[in-house]
């Protein structure tokens, strides 16, 4: 076997192993999407059992992170990847950290469903659910962009985060107004507020993943919004 | 030069490069500590100029993260480290991400100093400052533990986070009571609440770094509190 074949051979083993890792990232991402949907569904149907299930399932996301982290470390030690191969592993490692932390935010959101709300307060939850669906769409899109390492879709997610931030501000203002009108509701509304904040953080982390995709594709860190916008053009 | 010497030679180059990286992590950590102190000082002296300086300086933490990230990637590609050498680089990469995100939280805290508070509201800020000093101490200790890769100190920080969480809950309850008593103050108090939340997140991220230290020392991911406690014994 000459050197070229050997290097091809190593590269194809690397590719196979990375394919498996990517499948695991997608499985982890799929579980997170399901968790977010279940948390929102638990809130809209006031379903404490489903909320508890979301809280209990979070450990699976932690386990995925540990498993994929170990796989990546093994590949680096065994295959000694460089250039874009190494960048891909780094993008995976950063992505799974964000996915795991998004899981923690979803768990916090699910806790809201463990409380009971009166009819007026229920109205406020509708905004939370709408924002949740918006952020869920972002998560879906960024995982899709990650699967294809597609810079243009990553850029779309990056821009979408600004809309989520505006939605977050509008809902926060509304909830504060409600608290001022009915101060006794403050503790309950605060929990809704934390959930809205958690959704905003999930949006931020989707934006992070969009940056990792740009880092992989462009070969350098892109953390500045003007650079990211230039990357998407 | 025989093989042993060569490997020693490579290993000493690796050590020199990692020493430089560690110094950079400590410089980044030192800057973050200073930022947190300045943000708290800006709040206690109602010093808008200092607060603005904190906000403007945050970009330096982002630049450190990019610089150290690139250094680590270069070392991985060039030195192809394995086992504990690779774990050290991974611990550095994760740590700088947390340090950069803590910088974002500090920037949010500094924004509170841009507002004016009446005498009664000022009293509430005292608790924020106390918690800030507590978290600042944790940050200092975890950076110290990181510099020495000291598992026992890391464990102490890990335990400290529980106290910060309790402090956070106590302050949150106090602020909510204040909001109920004086609903017009809600928007202002909300900003204090977000800052307290930011401090709690900084504490969480100190705990993350303690976990990375355990990961490096023990050779496996430690993300469960009972495991972490066992690691510290």
pLDDT of B231 higher than 60: no
Contact at CB, B94 and A97, closer than 8 angstroms: yes
Mean pLDDT of chain B: 89
Query: Mean pLDDT, to the nearest integer, of B7-36?
Result: 89
Pair of tokens at residue B219: 């050779």
> How far A48 CA sits from the closest chain B CA (Å)?
23
Residue A233 has a pLDDT of 52
Lowest mean pLDDT among A70-84, A148-162, B54-68, B210-224: B210-224
Residue B103 has a pLDDT of 98
> d(Cα A121, Cα A223) in Å, to the nearest integer?
39
Q: Which of A223, A220, A101 is nearest to B70 (CA)?
A: A220
> How far A146 CA sits from the closest chain B CA (Å)?
20
Lowest mean pLDDT among B22-31, B77-86, B125-134, B185-194: B77-86
Residue B1 has a pLDDT of 42
| pLDDT tens column, A134-175 | 999 999 999 999 999 999 999 999 999 999 999 999 999 999
pLDDT of B10 higher than 80: no
Residue A84 has a pLDDT of 87
DSSP B46: T
pLDDT band at B123 (very low <50, low <70, confident <90, very high): confident
**Which of A65, A100, A165, A183 to probe the B interface (max B CBs under 10 A)?**
A183
Contact at CB, B176 and A197, closer than 8 angstroms: no
Contact at CB, A186 and B179, closer than 8 angstroms: yes
CB B145 within 8 A of CB B160: no
Establish whether this prediction's ipTM goes over 0.95: no
| pLDDT tens column, B47-76 | 999 999 999 999 999 999 999 999 999 998
Q: Which residues of A touch B184 (CB under 8 A)?
A: 180
Better-predicted residue by pLDDT, B118 or B205: B205
Among residues of chain B, what percentage have pLDDT more than 70? 90
Residue A226 has a pLDDT of 64
DSSP-based three-state secondary structure for A220? coil
pLDDT band at B224 (very low <50, low <70, confident <90, very high): low
> d(Cα A186, Cα A165) in Å, to the nearest integer?
23
Residue B225 has a pLDDT of 64
pLDDT of B233 higher than 80: no
Domains, in order of start, for chain A: 3-231 (1.20.58.220)
Among residues of chain B, what percentage have pLDDT more than 90? 70
> d(Cα A59, Cα A31) in Å, to the nearest integer?
11
> d(Cα A69, Cα B217) in Å, to the nearest integer?
16
Q: Which residues of A touch B94 (CB under 8 A)?
A: 97
pLDDT of B227 higher than 80: no
Pair of tokens at residue A77: 């030690």
Pair of tokens at residue A199: 């959704």
pLDDT band at A82 (very low <50, low <70, confident <90, very high): confident
Mean pLDDT of chain A: 89
Contact at CB, A186 and B197, closer than 8 angstroms: no
| pLDDT tens column, B136-179 | 999 999 999 999 999 999 999 999 999 999 999 999 999 999 99
Q: Which long-range contacts (CB under 8 A, 24 or more apart) does A9-13 make?
A: A10/A79, A13/A79
Contact at CB, A179 and B187, closer than 8 angstroms: no
In chain A, % helix, strand, coil (3-state, to 5) comes to: 90, 0, 10
């Amino acid at each position: 076997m000459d050197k070229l074949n050997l290097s091809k051979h190593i590269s194809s083993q690397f590719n196979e192993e990375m394919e498996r890792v990517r499948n695991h990232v997608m499985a982890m991402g799929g579980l997170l999407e399901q968790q977010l949907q279940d948390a929102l569904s638990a809130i809209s149907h006031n379903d404490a059992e489903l909320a508890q299930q979301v809280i209990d399932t979070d450990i699976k996301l932690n386990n995925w992170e540990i498993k994929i982290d170990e796989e990546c470390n093994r590949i680096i030690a065994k295959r000694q990847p460089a250039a874009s191969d190494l960048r891909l592993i780094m993008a995976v490692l950063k992505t799974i950290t964000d996915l795991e932390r998004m899981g923690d935010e979803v768990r916090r959101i699910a806790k809201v469903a463990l409380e009971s709300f009166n009819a007026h307060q229920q109205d406020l939850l509708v905004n939370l659910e709408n924002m949740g669906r918006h952020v869920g769409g972002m998560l879906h899109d960024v995982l899709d962009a990650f699967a294809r390492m597609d810079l243009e879709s990553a850029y779309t997610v990056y821009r979408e985060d600004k809309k989520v931030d505006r939605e977050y501000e509008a809902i926060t203002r509304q909830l504060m107004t409600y608290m001022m009108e009915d101060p006794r509701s403050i503790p309950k509304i605060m929990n809704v507020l934390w959930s809205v904040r958690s959704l905003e953080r999930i949006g931020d982390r989707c934006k992070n993943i969009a940056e990792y995709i740009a880092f992989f594709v462009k070969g350098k860190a892109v953390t500045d919004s003007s650079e990211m916008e230039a990357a998407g053009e």
